[in-house]
């Protein structure tokens, strides 16, 4: 595999390397994206569930879209977006149930018939205040997988995002190719990020994502994750680029429960587009396929403490 020295060059040229990493990450997801046959179980079109509560009241809504109530529509309009349909209530019986001990599951989608997808945003390089403003306005749930060496110059940036109810998860100290590391070094990458994120954000990350998805299904990495605290390894089904997603599924369509990978990126990595433009385009791609965005952690039962 061409996993040449990305980890060596990353620190100095992270921004320039990001596009290469992106291409790699997607290819890696295609080849090793965890569960092998999600399409078989979710390919049949699922009738949209009636959304619970919140009857649409906004006259400004696009025909066919279920809009949240008035003030929200204005917030979406501020970002030149049409409101996404609200996600259904979180399931009482969580589709993913994590255990306190033992091997951790590896998954790239969640089993659900809800017409929802989950957005995960990785690394933490771009720290655009406009994105905080956008999420504060839109209240779209995200899950963040943060890399210590990439966020440590401004841990504070992510705190208002966390205050919105968004969870922070483990994505190593310096974004290496995990399968090239010894078990001891793998542990250092995960445990040290776990400690830093726990200290900074007041809660221990529940989930881990290996950079590039690499090594996700190896026993060595599974053991390293277990020894550091996270209770699942989370991959993805789609990878957001600049204006559209790359899909692992041949039909290039979202399926209920898909986990989408995006990154904290700015104009240098996005060919001039901003983080908020990328994110707006992501929401538009989700909306045009009739999906809502739900909170990943609402579909996961953490181990009983
Ligand atoms: Zn990453």
Q: What phi, psi does 68 have (nearest 5°)? A: -70, 170
| Rounded distance from Cα 231 to ligand 1 centre (Å) | 19
Neighbours of 47 (CB within 10 A): 8
| Rounded distance from Cα 119 to ligand 1 centre (Å) | 14
Residue found by looking up tokens 């579909």 in the block? 299
Distances from the Cα of 300 to the Cαs of 57, 79, 110, 238, 291, in angstroms? 31, 30, 9, 20, 19
| Rounded distance from Cα 247 to ligand 1 centre (Å) | 17
pLDDT, tens digit only, all 305 positions of the chain: 333 333 333 333 333 334 334 434 433 333 333 333 333 333 333 333 334 433 333 333 344 344 445 668 999 999 999 999 999 999 999 999 999 999 999 999 999 999 999 999 999 999 999 999 999 999 999 999 999 999 999 999 999 999 999 999 999 999 999 999 999 999 999 999 999 999 999 999 999 999 999 999 999 999 999 999 999 999 999 999 999 999 999 999 999 999 999 999 999 999 999 999 999 999 999 999 999 999 999 999 999 87
Angle at 155 between CA 152 and CA 160, to 5 degrees: 160
Sign of the torsion angle spanned by Cα atoms 274, 275, 280, 284: positive
| Rounded distance from Cα 126 to ligand 1 centre (Å) | 12
| CA pair distance 26, 260, nearest whole angstrom | 11
| Rounded distance from Cα 151 to ligand 1 centre (Å) | 12
pTM value is 0.80
| Rounded distance from Cα 38 to ligand 1 centre (Å) | 23
Q: What phi, psi does 97 have (nearest 5°)? A: -120, 120
| Rounded distance from Cα 215 to ligand 1 centre (Å) | 13
Can you give the three-state secondary structure of the chain, one letter per residue? CCCCCHHHHCCCCHHHHHHHHHHHHHHHHHHHCCCCCHHHHHCCCCCCCCCCCCCCCCCCCCCCCCCCCHHHHHHHHHCCCCCCCCCCCCCCCCCEECCCCCCCCEECECCCCCCEEEEEEEECCCCCHHHHHHHHHHCCCCEEEECHHHHHHHHHHHHHHHHCCCEEEECCCCCCCHHHCCHHHHHHHHHHHHHHHHHHHCCCCCEECCHHHCCCCCHHHHHHHHHHCCCEEECCCEEECCCCEEECCCCCCCCCCEEEEEECCCCCCCCCCCHHHHHHHHHHHHHHCCCEECCHHHHEECCCC
| Rounded distance from Cα 47 to ligand 1 centre (Å) | 34
| CA pair distance 126, 121, nearest whole angstrom | 11
pLDDT at residue 70 in the model: 63
pLDDT at residue 195 in the model: 98
| Rounded distance from Cα 17 to ligand 1 centre (Å) | 11
Phi-psi region of 279 (alpha: psi -120 to 50; beta: other; left: phi over 0): alpha
pLDDT at residue 279 in the model: 98
| Rounded distance from Cα 122 to ligand 1 centre (Å) | 5
Q: What phi, psi does 124 have (nearest 5°)? A: 110, 20
Q: Which CB contacts under 8 angstroms, 24+ apart, belong to 98-103?
A: 98/206, 98/231, 98/232, 98/300, 98/301, 98/302, 98/303, 99/231, 99/303, 100/231, 100/303, 100/304, 101/226, 102/226, 103/222, 103/226
pLDDT at residue 305 in the model: 73
- The crossing angle, in degrees rounded to 10, of helices 219-228 and 183-201 is 30
pLDDT at residue 22 in the model: 41
């Amino acid at each position: 595999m061409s996993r040449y020295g990305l980890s060596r060059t990353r620190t100095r040229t992270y921004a320039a390397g990001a596009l290469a990493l992106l291409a790699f990450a997607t290819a890696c997801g295609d080849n090793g994206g965890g569960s092998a046959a999600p399409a078989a179980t979710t390919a049949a079109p699922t009738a949209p569930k009636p959304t619970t509560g919140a009857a649409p009241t906004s006259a400004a809504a696009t025909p066919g879209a279920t809009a949240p109530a008035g003030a929200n529509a204005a917030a979406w309009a501020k970002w030149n977006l049409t409101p996404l349909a609200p996600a259904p209530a979180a399931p009482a019986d969580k589709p993913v149930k994590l255990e306190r001990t033992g091997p951790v599951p590896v998954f790239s989608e969640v089993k659900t018939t809800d017409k929802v997808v989950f957005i995960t945003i990785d690394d933490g390089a771009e720290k655009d205040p406009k994105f905080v403003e956008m999420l504060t306005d839109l209240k779209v749930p995200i899950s963040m997988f943060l890399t210590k060496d990439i966020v440590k110059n401004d841990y504070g940036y992510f705190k208002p995002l966390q205050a919105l109810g968004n969870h922070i998860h483990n994505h190593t100290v310096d974004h290496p190719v995990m399968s090239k590391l010894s078990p001891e070094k793998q542990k250092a990458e995960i445990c040290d990020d776990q400690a830093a994120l726990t200290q900074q954000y007041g809660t221990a990350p529940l989930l881990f994502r290996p950079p590039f998805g690499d090594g996700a299904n190896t026993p060595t990495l599974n053991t390293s994750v277990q020894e550091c605290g996270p209770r699942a390894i989370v991959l993805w089904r789609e990878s957001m680029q600049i204006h559209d997603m790359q899909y692992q599924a041949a039909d290039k369509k979202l399926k209920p429960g898909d986990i989408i990978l995006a990154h904290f990126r700015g104009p240098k990595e996005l060919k001039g587009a901003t983080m908020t433009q990328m994110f707006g385009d992501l929401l538009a791609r989700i909306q045009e396929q009739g999906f809502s965005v739900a909170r990943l952690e609402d579909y996961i039962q953490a181990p009983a403490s």
